[in-house]
Structures are given as structure tokens and as C-alpha cells.
A = this chain, B = another copy of it.
């Protein structure tokens, strides 16, 4: 034990190689290796990371484990504006994706958080990529959504943009059928199957949720979803507290393609804040996501309740 402590000191504090330690301690190289390992496993030597990020990394790891995610990131939430912090983190992730020289297809949801992420992007020229809207970007009355992400992102990167120039939800099944015959709608829905990744928000479904306030759904429609047990939505597709897709008249009129569960392509959600916690938890439970970028407080709540 004494030897192990010494070996630990030499290795971690003095910076010796295990070979050098073996010589100093007059043991074989392998024995030195075992001693160093022992010092660590017996906690004779302690590692400390003195950095505010340490806690976030721990949460990141916990999220990844608990919800079997491929990618996770937790932002330290200092400051009142959660969305800004998330935006920066999401922008960093997006930059990774966009850095690819080979042409890729990326699908995007909508929302304020994603919009913030795009605003944080450092300008980069990537005309080879294709950016898709996964959600209709018109409100019911024909206005373009101010939170459409694909157009803005394509604008900033010079990428080719494939918006979905329809409402989120068609007025009727007949209207949906009609819209589906449009060349542009067909194209974007086809391209979605080739997407390298989907970057989406998570919306809560409740009275006066953004999806209603922004005019994508009216009061009756929100009521219908709530009656069916919806707690959240992913690129407009509503799900219940277990993350199972809701069956309802509305979903038959949704213009986007439904995400697969489990996802066929990496599906990264950018979402945080107390209002969204329940929806995020449900989406995670349902295995609808492969990645999550969230803030520290939300991560803690997700892990506590789960």
C-alpha cells in the first residue's frame, strides 16, 4: 500500500513513466503498472477538476447513460437567458456538422431555441450542403413563420434550402393530399430520408404553448391533442407522457414526415427550461432522440425525476 502511494505520487505528481517508477522502486515494469492502478482504485491518489464545467460534464455523462444517447451536452446556466446558452452550444454542434466537406443533407425543426442557435453560428460558406425544413413553415393564414430555421441557416451558409412551403397542419386530409402532390413538398419529404442528421426543438403541448401562440394550431386543435394525452411535440408530431405518438385527427393532416422511433438518423434536440422539462422527459423515454443539448437545471430535473 505504501508502495502504491509512492507509485501514484511518482506517476501523477512527479510525471514519471511506469518504467522509471519500476526502477526507483526496484520492481518490474508490470508491478509498477499494478501499483499505479491500485493507487487509483484505492483512491490514494485523487483527481480534482476545479472548473465550473465539471458539474455539467458529469450531468452530460449521466444523461447519456440514462437515456442511451449518442450525443449530449449540458450548458452551465448562468444568467437568466437559458436560450442564449443553449444557442451557443447548439451552434457549436451545428458547426461540427457543417464543417463537413462532403455534401450532406440536414433536416431542421423550428422554434425560438433553434433560431437562437443559428444566430450564434459563425459565418461559414457551405454551398454543397442541403438544408431541409421538416415542418411546414407557414401559419394557417399564409404567413411565413418568423422562427423558421432552415431558410435562415441556408442564408447564412450559402447552402441549398428546401423549405416546406405549407402550413404545419393541412386544413383537411384532402388538402394534405393536394399539397403532397406539389413538387417542392415531395422533394423535401424525399430528401428527409437521406438526412445525415435532424436538429429539432421539443415543444410542450399545453394551453398557450408556443405551437398555439404562434398560430400553428388553434384552440380546438390544442384541446384535441390534450384530450388525447399529448404533452409535447417533435417537429409537430405530438406524443404522450411515455413518448408514444398520439393518434388523433390532427396527426393525419400533419405535413411533415413522422420521425421514426427509434430514429433512423441522428436526431438531436435542443431544448431546455422548466416549461419544457416534461415534454423532454417524455421524448427521451420514448426513445425519440439520439442526442440532447440542454441546460444544467433541466438536466438535473430530468435525471432526478427519471
Contacts and interface: CB of A to CB of B under 8 A. Distances in A.
Contacts of A55: 2, 6
Nearest to A5: B51
A43 B54 contact: no
A14 B84 contact: yes
Contacts of A5: 49, 51, 53-54, 57
Interface stretch (A73-81, A158-166, A221-229, A248-256): A73-81
A92 B180 CA distance: 55
Contacts of A39: 49
Contact of A48 (B46, B51, B78, B96): B46
Given A5-B54, A24-B78, A85 B13 contact: yes
A28 B154 CA distance: 27
A49 B16 contact: no
Interface string A60-87: 0100100000010001111101001100
A124 to B, nearest CB: 9
Interface in A9-29: 9-10, 12-16, 24, 26
Interface in A103-139: 122-123
A243 to B, nearest CB: 24
Contacts of A12: 47, 49
A14 B61 contact: yes
Interface string A30-60: 0000000001000111111111011101100
A88 interface: yes
A296 to B, nearest CB: 10
Interface residues of A, number: 45
Given A47-B46, A49-B45, A54 B16 contact: no
Contacts of A272: none
A238 interface: no
Contacts of A44: 49-51
B13 A50 contact: no
A167 interface: no
A8 interface: yes
A36 to B, nearest CB: 12
Nearest to A75: B9
Contacts of A46: 47-50
Contacts of A50: 43-46, 122-123
Given A13-B54, A50-B122, 10 more contacts: A2-B51, A2-B55, A8-B51, A9-B76, A10-B78, A12-B49, A13-B84, A14-B84, A26-B96, A44-B50
Interface of A: 1-2, 5-6, 8-10, 12-16, 24, 26, 39, 43-51, 53-55, 57-58, 61, 64, 71, 75-79, 81, 84-85, 88, 93, 96, 122-123
23 contacts: A2-B53, A8-B51, A9-B58, A9-B75, A9-B85, A10-B57, A10-B61, A10-B79, A13-B85, A13-B88, A14-B77, A14-B81, A15-B81, A16-B79, A24-B64, A24-B78, A26-B71, A26-B93, A45-B48, A46-B48, A46-B50, A47-B48, A48-B48
